[in-house]
Structure 1
Amino acid sequence: MPPSDVLVYTRTAGYRHDSIPAGARALVEQARQCGFEAEATDDPGAFTDERLARCAAVALLSTTGEVLTDPGRTALEAYVRGGGGLLAVHAAANAEPGWPFYGELLGTRFAGHPPLQPGLVHVEDTAHPATAHLPARWDWTDEWYDFTSPPRESGVHVLLRADESTYTGGTHGVDHPLSWCHDKAGGRFFFTALGHTSESYASPDFRAHLAGALRWAARR
């Protein structure tokens, strides 16, 4: 039988978002609605070959800093290279700063963000399961993450981008990706920069965004 679990990982070694409990509940609920078993944990001991072999996808939820052990990194890399799917949400862009393999998956690194404020999201891919349900122009409130290099230049497939003319403090200009995905190193990687607030995880649109990301990462 194919793997049927989703592991939601919430450990932080830096800033910890207040929205993590709401996000973990939402991811577990969406995974179960998609037909997966799901659990949330902050235990780095969960990253073993045996545990990951049962996973259809792994989600890193606003993880910050060095949140894995060396054996855990080895196991997660082997999981991805073996065809596994990895979903990174919001501050997971600031996870594992010293691990080159994770940087390759992400395609860039977190640089900073302006204050929380409303703005406009443009949907670039209207067919992807994580974005097909969204309006072409989506009003949203978030931290509007900036990155150390243009994400698109790393070869990722961009799904959402920010309209910097609708908020203050952006640094990328007209091409400011917020969510992207790609097949990489034998596996699948999906990132969304959205999800700072607890209220985000009550939004039907954002919950469907996460559910579509999980289905894509799990090749369902």
Structure 2
Amino acid sequence: MRKSIVLLALICALFAMPAQAQQQFKVLVAAIPNKYHNDYVTVAKPSFERMARQHNFELVWAWDTRPFDGDLSQYAAIVFLNTPGAELSEPQRKRFQDYIHAGGGFVAVHKAIATAREWTWYEHLVGRSFRTHPYIQTGVIDVVDHNFPATLGLPDRWLWTDEWYEYDAPYSSDLHVVMNVDESSYDPTLIWPGQKAEGMGKSHPVAWYHFFEGGRSFVTALGHTPELYNDRLYLDHLYGGIYWAATGRGIVAEKSAP
């Protein structure tokens, strides 16, 4: 009887091993709590874990920068979740640059954009430099490209509440904007006393992607408050960006006119 139980356990283990080995890719999420972005983590982590189970990828969650001391080539994509690249030490920055140059995928979420001009290369990887943001407000997002994985399934007009980041001019002309915020739907000048925000005008991007020095870069400015990480559409938006950064796939070719 005991031999039968042991044999059954071995058979079950053999069947379980391929299921674990078949995860489609591995993703590192760097989510280092900071002064203005820490309470989101308790919501974001379980949401990312569910995302990983749903989409069959391996998730490595990092509360600090120690994974950047190791082998980054094992990750199909690295997500900086409300964590700017300036958190990395000089040797870690070099490893991350090598990772991008080797064809790695990068995803920047919200605070990851705000680098305070501490690392020029990273700002070029993002594509723009953060300038300021007004109070958290409700605004309307215009999805201008439905052919990119991070916008598949999103409505043309999306009501959203967040910090609407402003940036300086892009570093290159190859940034492909997939979503803008309509500045007529909120007050871009509503900011704290002594500070100034003036908006960006008709073209105010909140998500874009580009290819950079051999790697793939997807950036979304959305994601300040914890509640957003329970929103299904937002999580689909994030996963679409992760999927593209990890694989380079999923961009739908535009149909030519008949």
Could you tell me how far 1:99 is from its partner in structure 2? 1.5
Given candidates 123, 145, 154, the residue that maps to 1:103 is 123
Asked if structure 2 preserves the Cα contact closer than 8 Å seen for 1:19 and 1:197, the reply is: yes
Report the CA distance between 1:64 and its aligned residue. 4.1
Query: Which amino acid is 1:15 matched to?
Result: Y
Instruction: Show the counterpart of 1:140.
Output: 160
- Provide the C-alpha distance between the structure 2 equivalents of 1:37 and 1:14, rounded to a whole number of angstroms: 29
5+ long unaligned stretches in structure 1: none
Retained in 1: the 8 A contact 2:140–2:160?
yes
Q: Equivalent of 2:113, from 93, 99, 102? A: 93
Equivalent residue number for residue 33 of structure 1: 54
Root-mean-square deviation over aligned CA pairs: 2.1
Corresponding residue number in structure 1 for 2:179: 160
CA-CA distance at 1:166 after TM superposition: 0.3
Partner of 1:16: 37
Cα gap change, 1:198 to 1:76, in 2 (>3 Å): same
Aligned partner of 1:58: which letter?
Answer: I
One of 12, 21, 44 as aligned partner of 2:65: 44
Structure 1 residue 2: Cα displacement: 10
Q: Secondary structure at the match of 1:87?
A: strand
The list of structure 1 runs, each at least 4 consecutive aligned residues, that deviate by more than 6 angstroms after superposition, is none
Paired residue secondary structure (2:216):
strand
Instruction: Specify the SS of the correspondent of 1:47.
Output: helix
Amino acid at match of 1:192: T
Distance 1:174 1:88, change over 3 A: same
| Distance in 1 of aligned mates of 2:24 and 2:92 | 19
Q: Residue 179 of structure 1 aligns with which residue?
A: 207
- Structure 1 residues 97 and 58: CA distance shift in structure 2, 3 A: same
Aligned to 1:218: 246
Q: Which has the larger radius of gyration?
A: 2
Three-state SS of the structure 2 residue aligned to 1:66 is: helix
| Paired residues, number | 218
SS of aligned partner of 1:108:
coil
Unaligned 5+ runs, structure 2: 1-21, 189-197, 250-258
Contact 1:146 1:171 in 2 (8 A): yes
1: CA distance, partners of 2:44 / 2:56: 18
Q: Determine if the alignment matches structure 1 residue 5 to structure 2 residue 26.
A: yes
Q: Residues 183, 13 of structure 1: CA spacing in aligned structure 2 closer, same or farther, 3 A cutoff?
A: same
From the two aligned structures, give the one with the greater strand fraction. Answer: 1
TM-score with structure 2 length normalisation? 0.78
Relative to the length of structure 1, the TM-score reads 0.91
TM-superposed CA distance for 1:148, in Å, is: 2.2
Percent of residue pairs identical: 39
Distance in 2, matches of 1:109 and 1:217, equals 21
